[in-house]
Amino acid sequence: MIKISKVMIFALGCLLSAVPVFSDVIRVPGDENADELPVQLLKEVVRREPSLSLAFPYDGAKERIAKSRLMADIENNQLDVFWSSTNIEFEDKYLPVRIPIYRGLLGYRIAIVSAQNENIFAGVKSLGDLKKFKAGQGLHWADTKILRHNGIEVVTSNKSVNLFAMLDGGRFDYFPRGIHQPWREIRANSQYDLVVEPHVLIRYPVPNYLFVNKNNKDLWRLLTDELNKMYQDGTYVALFKNNQAMKDAVAMANISRRLVLEIDNPTLPPNTPLHVKHYWFDPLVDTF
Domain residue limits at 220: 6-104+207-249
- Does 56 map to a domain? yes
**pLDDT tens, 144-180?**
999 999 999 999 999 999 999 999 999 999 999 999 9
- Does 47 map to a domain? yes
- Does 271 map to a domain? no
- Does 275 map to a domain? no
**pLDDT tens, 117-150?**
999 999 999 999 999 999 999 998 989 999 999 9
Res. 64 pLDDT band, cuts 50 70 90: confident
- Does 232 map to a domain? yes
- Burial of residue 11 (number of CB atoms within 10 Å: 0-12, 13-18, 19+): exposed
- pLDDT value at residue 11: 47
Task: Provide the CATH number for the domain around residue 227.
Answer: 3.40.190.10
**pLDDT tens, 224-258?**
999 999 999 999 999 999 998 888 889 999 999 99
Q: What is the tally of structural domains in the chain?
A: 1
- Does 36 map to a domain? yes
State the pTM of this model.
0.84
Alpha helices in the chain (DSSP H): 6-18, 37-48, 67-75, 88-93, 127-130, 142-149, 162-168, 182-188, 217-232, 235-242, 244-253
